[in-house]
Copies of this chain bind each other. A is one copy, B any other.
Amino acid sequence: MSILVVGSVAIDSVETPLGRADNVVGGAATYFALAASYFAPVRLVAAVGDDFPSDVLDTLRSRGVDLGGLEHRQGTTLRWRGRYHEDMNVRDTLHLDLGVFADFQPRIPSAYRDSQHVFLANIDPRLQSAVLDQLSAPGLIGCDTMNHWILESRPALETLLTRVGILVINDEEARLLSGERNVVRAARRILQMGPKTLLVKRGEYGVIQFSAQSIFAVPAFPLEEVFDPTGAGDTFAGGFMGELARSGDHSEGGLRRAIVCGSVMASFVVEDFSYRRLLTLSSETIERRYRQFVSLTDISGV
C-alpha cells in the first residue's frame, strides 16, 4: 500500500567532525521517501526550485518514489548549512534560505487523495492540517514538528494533533510541547492532546514509544563511526511508516516491528553523508541488520 509524505526537499551543506559535504540533497521528505521506498511505494509532495539537480529526481523515481506531487517553481530550493559539534547530538545552523519553500502550499494531486498511510514531515502545522483537508479518508496519519512551531504556532499545532494518530518528535520537542522534563510524564500529557501513539527520538539512545497501554524502548544501533546524523530522524520515520504501510499491521507488535525497521534505516543513513547510504541497500542488508537489532536487545541472549 502506498504511503504519502509531505515535507521539505532541500540542498544541504554539512560539516561533521569526520568531514564535510557541500550542496548535497537533503530535506525531511527526501530522507523519509528513500527510507520508506524499501518497504512500500511512496508518493511525495514537496517543492523545489529551478536549481534542483534533475539526476536526483531520476534517483528518487528509480527507488519507486512517485514525484507527481513535486512542484517545480521558479527560484531556489530550500538551502541549509549546518555544523555538528564533537558531540553530534548538538548542531548549529549556519545558514538557512527557505527559497521556494517560503510560500509552499502543499497541493495533493487527485491521484493521491485516497492515500491510507500519510506522513506530515516538519512544516507549518496549518499546512499539515491543510494536507489532511485534501485527503478522502486517511487510515493512519503520522506527523513530526519542531520547537519553532511549538513556540510560535501552538494553537494550530494543538488543532492538528487532535487529527493525528502517531506523533514522532525528539526528546527536546517532547519536553517543550508538554512542559514536562520527565519523558513518561511528558508522554502522558502529549497523548492527552490527541495522538494514540507517541514516538520520542533520543538520538544515539534510540526511540521510546508510548501509548495508553504500553511502553516500548529500543536502543539505537551502536555504530563505530557516525559520519553525518542529518536526516536520521526522518529516515527513522520513513522506515517506520513504510513498514506499517507494507504490513498493514497497526497492532502493538506491528508498531514495534516498524520501530525496529525505522531504527535499522536510521542506522544506515548516518554511515555516510546525505542520503548516499540509502541508495546502496538491499532487502538482505536490511534484514541482516534487523536480526542484529533483535540480538542486540534480546534478553535471553540467543
Chain B's nearest CB lies how many Å from the CB of A107?
38
> CA of A182 to CA of B296 in the docked complex: distance in angstroms?
17
Task: Give how many copies assemble into the complex.
Answer: 2
CB < 8 Å: which of B214, B219, B255 contacts A206?
B219
Chain A 259-289 interface 0/1 with B at a Cβ cutoff of 8 Å (1 = within): 0100000000000000000000000000000
- The answer to whether A299 touches B256 (Cβ under 8 A) is yes
Chain B's nearest CB lies how many Å from the CB of A14?
18
> CA of A216 to CA of B221 in the docked complex: distance in angstroms?
10
- The answer to whether A251 touches B297 (Cβ under 8 A) is no
The residues of B that contact A223 with a CB separation of less than 8 Å are: 182, 184
- The answer to whether A222 touches B218 (Cβ under 8 A) is no
CB < 8 Å: which of B202, B253, B293, B301 contacts A302?
B253
Contact A216-B301, Cβ < 8 Å, known A182-B225, A185-B224, A225-B182: yes
CB < 8 Å: which of B215, B251, B296 contacts A216?
B296
Contact A295-B214, Cβ < 8 Å, known A205-B205, A253-B300: yes
- The answer to whether B297 touches A299 (Cβ under 8 A) is yes
> CA of A252 to CA of B300 in the docked complex: distance in angstroms?
8
At the interface, yes or no: A135 with Cβ under 8 Å from chain B? no
Residue of B nearest to A186 (CB): B224
> CA of A182 to CA of B204 in the docked complex: distance in angstroms?
10
> CA of A35 to CA of B302 in the docked complex: distance in angstroms?
27
**Chain A interface, number of residues (Cβ within 8 angstroms):** 42
The residues of B that contact A86 with a CB separation of less than 8 Å are: 181
Residue of B nearest to A214 (CB): B295
At the interface, yes or no: A183 with Cβ under 8 Å from chain B? yes
At the interface, yes or no: A140 with Cβ under 8 Å from chain B? no
The residues of B that contact A253 with a CB separation of less than 8 Å are: 300-302
Contact A215-B208, Cβ < 8 Å, known A253-B302, A256-B299, A301-B253: no
- Which chain A residues in 51-104 approach chain B with CB under 8 Å? 86-87
Chain B's nearest CB lies how many Å from the CB of A111?
34
CB < 8 Å: which of B181, B188, B217, B260 contacts A219?
B217
* Beyond known contacts A183-B204, A255-B301: 17 more, CB 8 A cutoff: A87-B181, A182-B223, A184-B223, A202-B205, A205-B206, A205-B219, A214-B295, A214-B301, A215-B222, A216-B301, A217-B296, A252-B301, A256-B301, A257-B300, A257-B301, A293-B299, A297-B299
